[in-house]
Structure 1
Amino acid sequence: MKKISTKITAFIVIAILICACDAVKRVPDGKLLLTKNEIEANGKSIKEETIFNQLYQKPNSTLLGYRLRLNLYNLANLNPDSTYQAKFANNPEKYKRQSKWLSEKQVNRLGKSFLYYGIHNFLKKTGEPPVIIDKERADKSVLRLKYYYFNNGYFNVNANYNIDTLSLKKAKIKYAITPGNAFFLDTLKTTILTPALDSLYQTNKSNTFLKSGNQYKTEDFENEKNRITTHFRNNGAYYFQSNYVTFDIDTIKKVNQANINLVINNYSYQDQDSSKTVPFKIYKISDVNIYTDYSSENNNRTITDSTTYKNFNLYSHQKLKYKPRAITNAIFITKGGLYADYKTVLTTRYLNNLKVFNYPSIQYEVDKRDSTAQSLIAKVYLTPRKKYSFGTTLDVTHSNIQDFGIGLSVSETIRNVFNGAETLEIAARGNIGSSQDLANPNNNFFNVSEYGLDLKLNIPRIFIPFSTEKIIPKSMIPSTLITVGFAKQRNLGLDKENFTGALSYNWTPKRNHTARFDLFNTQFVRNLNPNNYFFVYNSSYRALNAIGKQYNTNPNYYNNDIDRDLVIERGTTGFTRDVLSGNASFLKPLESADIESVKSIEERRLRLTENDFILATSFTFSKTTKKDLLDNDFYLFRTKIESAGTLLSAFAKTTNQKENVTGNYEIFNLEYSEYLKTEFEYIKHWDLSKEKIFAFRSFFGIAVPFGNSNYIPFSRSYFSGGSNDNRAWQPYSLGPGSSGAVDDFNEANMKIAISGEFRFKILGNLKGALFADAGNIWNVLDNVVDEKSTFTSFSDLKDIALGTGFGLRYDLSFFVIRFDLGFKTYNPANETRKRWFQEYNFGNSVLNFGINYPF
């Protein structure tokens, strides 16, 4: 029966595809379906996407060469209402019978159901109507092609087209272009009537886009207009606009060459009924007035409080609530300085970044006190936000640990808390979740819980006892972030209490560059139930228990004489102690390999159950060329270096602190972590046009313990696998190296990851992707000695795992829902001869769910 149903389903699918493949089904008689555009220039085929974008008509879109959307449209009934009514018009008795069985109202409503109407409406909206060749649009395409070549210096271009019929109701259009010879720039002259502007132009003319010998391009002329306008307006020319820049192009008596004369006329303005022309003036700022509590309601009220601070005038309708420095630090418009557009933009950005005002308004007016009329008064209008604001957030989450989680957070934001434009945020959060990977003896759905409290204080400047203006000027919009947090996890592994604190400095060295320096970032992790270790990490227990059955003779260590399973905690602790000390009797002599295994299990237990104290200093830098959310052709580079424990060790040595029995220093009776960690990440996106994008990511990270540590804390280590990593493996289930992920949560202190993804449009907001993820984790320069898990030379790169697959994504504008199916293509955990494609099947595949793109 199962085979028959499968055949029937396959037959139906094939029948639908055959019916839909009639691409000209909706093409009227006498019309032609556009199947292809061809463009030739001087008899040579053109493939450039920018030239094809000039055409008004393009063939129906395809998916891997198949016109999916056109065929979906052809499947639709374009008039489902008429078809439904016609069914009863030809058979009135049928309508009567259905009306008795249902009702007249229900029968009429049935015509609007998904079966009769909705499915066809969906096919019409999702599908794409056939592109019918339109000669009028083809003529417009020829005109646009001429414009394109003209704008690139081909002044004598000719173009035409020909419609080539291929088969019944199908044709392609061939566009033939004869560009002629390109024109090049010859002599360049300037005619600038205002002497002050002429002097300004001369100071920056080396950056011109127009250079003798270059091919004529309209784009270069537009760029030159914008360059000149920006330069003038940043140097006092307040009334200058780009339309004052014109070009005289002379090609008379020239062979494929053009002389260029750049013309800038004087300023013209309307004075009553007449037009007047005067030279442009260079304006300076005579006053900077800041209105700190402006609103439309109090605009006409009297100013009651004012002060002057470093040539800035601050006004308030009520008592001034801000320290003058907090606001003037954000103002780059200075008294006595030239008017400059960039200062206005920078001031707006900085003020907006304070997060205590609504979007600011900056206006200029001519100072009537200046008889030369060459001074401007800058007026900065600031509208304060509410001092207190309360917020709540409800989240549904999915992570590497939780299969499902519900989180609630409440926060209170206090603005201008110390009258210096500081922002204090107090937030409380709680989360309950479900995880199949964790111990759950009571079989409760919600077996994970967490709650916490966080305080964040943002200071809009570098908070430090000495001045940093020369190193980090205020134009870099510096800020200081002080955070303190507490979180408590229950039923999550060993259960933890997590105390955190940080002092961070942030600034933007250049546009699209960010820098962050954590003077200190401290974390204290306290395990509440370390005795749960072997309940949580079952793989460690199974390995130890298997060895125990071979050697253990102590009846107090196992549950019964038949199973002889080690009892947690009494048996696991006692047997481990006996093996490592060697002071016990065993069923047979201990083998060195088993002793090393027990030692390795115990070292991992100690590492994951002992409390951690981390005091780190780090620097993070990132650079991107991404302009906005719609930019699909950019790169992102990020690097981070972190040092932990170095200051504590230096203090301990300087003050002659005593080492403990293990030879390490302690703070608060706890060994602190000491390591050096660095990371590099590079992401690049290429826009291949037609909503096709290729995305690439590479990552390298390594953390090396030294001094007070011989391993990296679990919270600072790396793992591999998951929806944002190697998608052919579950989180924590890949590596280290070729070890085969023998532990429950596999982590290490070095990671390499490389991913490539080809993204394309399928239907409407439904997107597809083909991806390949490579990478792994290894232990290096720590206390792990297992050869399969460690990285000792470049030959260990053969342990890089490869996963490939495909995915579906639905774009909801504000976020993307993502499903990726990954297949293990190369698995280093297998034998050398069985690593490629041995698990390339659905049974060993991994389905990942994610929000937004992985990179």
Structure 2
Amino acid sequence: MPLITLLLSGCLGTRYLEDNEKLLVKNKIKGEVNIPNSDIEPVIIQKPNKKLPIIPFAIYVWFYETGERYYDVDETLEEKQEVIEKYNSRIEAAEKEKKKNKLQRKRRKKVSKIDKKLEEGNLLMRWGEPLAVYDSSLSETSAAAIEQLLKNKGYFNAKVDYNIDTASNNEKVTVTYELNPQARYLIRDVSYDIQDSTLKETLSKAEDIKNIKTGIAYDQAILINKRNELDAYLKNHGYFNFNREYIRATVKKYDSLNVVDININVLNPENKSSHSLYKIDSVTMVTDSDVKTQEEQRQKIYYRGISYKYFEKTYSSKVLTSRIFVKPGQLYSRENIFDTQRQLGTLDMFRTINITYDTLGGNIDVFISVTPLKKFQMANEFGLGINISQGVPGPFYNLTLKNRNTFGGLEILQLNARVGFERVATENEANNEFYNNNEYGANLSLTFPQFILPLGEARKTNMGKLNPTTKILTGYNYVSTPEYQRENINSYISYQWFKNQKNYYNLTPLEVYLIDSEIKDSLFQARLRELELQGNSLIRSFDPSFVSATYFTFTKNINQYGQGSDNNSAYFRLLLEHGGIIPEFNSSLTFFKYDKVSVDFRRLIVFDERTQLAYKIKGGIAVPYGSGSDNLAPLPYEKYFFTGGVIL
């Protein structure tokens, strides 16, 4: 019992307090305001120590205090000096420049690691956090910050105070912030004062951008967002040198009515009567900037107004032009510049993409220089897969071979091969035997950076912002388990596109599978027969069969879900599939007709830097149909829904 008491005391943090110190255990917010606490809490400077959801005490404090006991700054400084001296002597002794550079990189890496230890402490200290010793000055500063936040949200007469509640043992403090917001002001009127007549005419075509809704509560964030929107709009309509600092907002309060009038003033540049409009004069792309040669030795061609320069022609000017959205004669558009850089990047052809400008008068010369990636690339992956239920590792190996710009049209030819083994236990527990699950296969794909469709060249160019690709794939897969052996050959053609990093589309007009299966285990076959007698036709899925289908998928990714985002994020995927588009043509094969819909939704909720909640909802429905022919089976084995474990 004394040991438990000591541990709890240490984790609660009070045992680490000095004389006259108190531990901040909670912040409270009281007051009727139409602002969520999640907006107010970030401006509170001092916060209690974090706790794990399942542990009712601050274990991170224990980590920090334990680490601090073993942390010696002087010893760490000595370690840093020793590392520097050690590598300096080795660098001086090195004869080759390559060896020196390698040692310098190692020195930087080791010194950086020690500097991190000096700044943030040792590993335990970095895992933990310092004790939240209460500081009344921080509460005073936080109250002022909350008051300013309320005023920014339209509570112009708000007052915020705080009081502290000390626990009976006088060691723990709860701070309550008392909010007295008073009336919230509404936006009554919005007016614009634009000195530049040409700029004024440009903005007259963007009423949706200019508009600020009246009758709603005033919020400074509305003005900040509006200034950013106006700035972006003008930079996309020729105003290359425009700056958001030219946009000023004046807010006039009417206390008797609790309303404000907003005047937005767009100023001219100093000592000028108007802002300069810029047009694109020329666009030049160098496709091999890594080749060091005299400029006059580069060849030059013009295609649809764009000048291409190269030492040796490698890429299709037609395809490149469809991904370049900056054209001579256009007004300057920052969005078109960004889209060009992003779309050239999605081609997976270039290691670096640099876009620079040369301005002269009201004209802009745009220079695009790219450094190609390696034409041939190989990637290997070898590892051990663990069967969670059996605890037996199985090796796997993946190989990827990539050939870029295969036919000169920025295509990518890619071969993916895989082989894997898994150890699983037999269903007969008395035997206590293990069997191998073996799988191997390969896919060969060819990806085109455009839609392979009978479309005119102009239309293909206009569709460039959708990042269109066409993928043709053929593959083979073999699976052997104790129960069955299954191999298939599949092919498909698919069209993929997206305009932003949120919404992705995939249309596969045709996918076909030729499948051959063999049931190896008599018990497994008996179970399938038993299911057949009960009305379940799963056994038909193991007949030699032919599957044809068309499907469409829509994927929405919010806040970069699954890419290490620190914000709340989500993922949604919808699949619509129709099977059986090719009619029966061989009596020895089983054919399938079905419709399938599936939905996959995932969400990540971030509470703080250490606490997150993730969940996933996945479901769907597959409906087989047919004329009752002997060659028609309900559903292909691969199209069943699985929830884990054995399907039977």
- 1:365 corresponds in structure 2 to 358
Q: 1:399 Cα shift?
A: 6.4
Amino acid aligned to 1:699: G
- Cα distance in structure 2, aligned partners of 1:154 and 1:45: 10
- The answer to whether the Cα contact below 8 Å between 1:69 and 1:128 also exists between their aligned partners in 2 is no
Matches within 5 A, 1:108-507: 126-168=127-169, 169-208=171-210, 210-251=212-253, 256-268=258-270, 276-295=271-290, 298=292, 300-316=294-310, 318-366=311-359, 368=360, 373-398=361-386, 404-437=393-426, 447-467=436-456, 473-491=463-481, 493-507=483-497
| SS in structure 1 of the partner of residue 281 of structure 2 | strand
Query: Which consecutive unaligned segments of at least 5 residues does structure 1 have?
Result: 1-10, 83-119, 269-275, 545-596, 650-664, 723-730, 733-744, 747-855
**Larger Cα-atom Rg:** 1
Counterparts of 1:423 and 1:182, CA distance in 2? 59
1:458–1:479 contact (8 Å) kept in structure 2: yes
Q: Give the 3-state SS of the residue equivalent to 1:56 in structure 2.
A: coil
Determine if contact 1:69/1:126 at 8 Å carries over to the other structure: no
Q: Could you say if the C-alpha distance between residues 618 and 237 of structure 1 is closer, same or farther in structure 2, counting changes exceeding 3 Å?
A: same
Larger relative contact order (CA 8 Å, sep ≥ 6): 2
Displacement, 1:79? 3.4
Secondary structure at 1:240's aligned position in 2? coil
State the secondary structure of the residue aligned to 2:340: helix
Map of 2:527 onto structure 1: 540
| C-alpha RMSD over aligned residues | 3.5
Distance of aligned partners of 1:209 and 1:688 in 2 relative to their CA distance in 1, 3 Å threshold: farther
In 2, Cα distance between the equivalents of 1:293 and 1:438?
A: 61
Deviations 1:584-638 (CA, angstroms, capped at 9, x unpaired): xxxxxxxxxxxxx596289858525322211211111223333453254344332
Deviations 1:113-166 (A, max 9, x none): xxxxxxx98876555443111122122212211221121123333333233322
Alignment check: 8 A CA contact 1:20 1:75 kept? no
**Counterparts of 2:66 and 2:389, CA distance in 1:** 45
Task: Deviation per CA, 1:363-391: give whole Å up to 9, x if none.
Answer: 2222x5xxxx3222222212111111122
Q: TM (normalized to structure 2)?
A: 0.81
Is 1:676 matched up with 2:595? Answer: yes
Q: Which amino acid is the alignment partner of residue 523 of structure 1?
A: Y
SS of 2:296's equivalent?
coil
On the 8 A contact 2:22/2:172 being kept in 1, the answer is yes
Contact preservation (8 Å) 2:410, 2:449: yes
> Which whole-Å deviations, capped at 9, do the CAs of 1:298-317 have from their partners, x for residues lacking one?
2754343221122222111x
- Name the CA shift for 1:159/1:606 in 2 (closer, same or farther; >3 Å): closer
For the residues of structure 2 that align with 1:399 and 1:331, how far apart are their CA atoms? 48
Counterpart residue number, 1:514: 504
Contact preservation (8 Å) 2:13, 2:58: no
Gaps of 5+ in 2: 73-120
Q: Secondary structure at the match of 1:334?
A: coil
CA 1:347/1:21 → structure 2, altered by over 3 Å: closer, same or farther?
closer
Q: Deviations over 1:827-848 (max 9, x none)?
A: xxxxxxxxxxxxxxxxxxxxxx
CA–CA distance in structure 1, aligned partners of residues 304 and 185 of structure 2: 56
% of aligned pairs identical? 22
Could you tell me how far apart the structure 2 residues matched to 1:236 and 1:347 are?
A: 17
- TM, length-normalised to structure 1: 0.63
- SS of 1:61's partner is coil
Partner of 1:701: 621
Q: Distance in 1 between matches of 2:281 and 2:638?
A: 56
Aligned match for 1:49, one of 22, 38, 55: 38
Cα separation, partners in 2 of 1:294 and 1:13, compared to 1, 3 Å? same
The Cα offsets for residues 561-580 of structure 1, whole Å up to 9 and x where unpaired, read as xxxxxxxxxxxxxxxxxxxx
| Further displaced range: 688-697 or 339-348 | 688-697
Task: Tell me, in whole angstroms, the C-alpha distance in 1 between the residues paired with 2:537 and 2:43.
Answer: 64
Q: Tell me, in whole angstroms, the C-alpha distance in 2 between the residues paired with 1:37 and 1:443.
A: 58
CA contact (8 A) 1:196 1:282 kept: no
Is contact 2:412–2:446 with CA below 8 Å preserved after alignment? yes
How much has 1:74 moved relative to structure 2?
9.3
Q: Distance in 2 between matches of 1:56 and 1:503?
A: 56
Retained in 2: the 8 A contact 1:40–1:46? Answer: no
User: Retained in 1: the 8 A contact 2:426–2:432?
Assistant: no
1:639 partnered with 2:574: yes
Cα deviation for residue 424 of structure 1 reads 0.6
Output one character per residue of 1:210-265: Cα deviation in whole Å (capped at 9) or x when no partner.
34433321111110110101110111111112111112333488754333221222
For residues 603 and 595 of structure 2, the distance between their equivalents in structure 1, rounded to whole angstroms, comes to 28
Q: Secondary structure at the match of 2:494?
A: strand
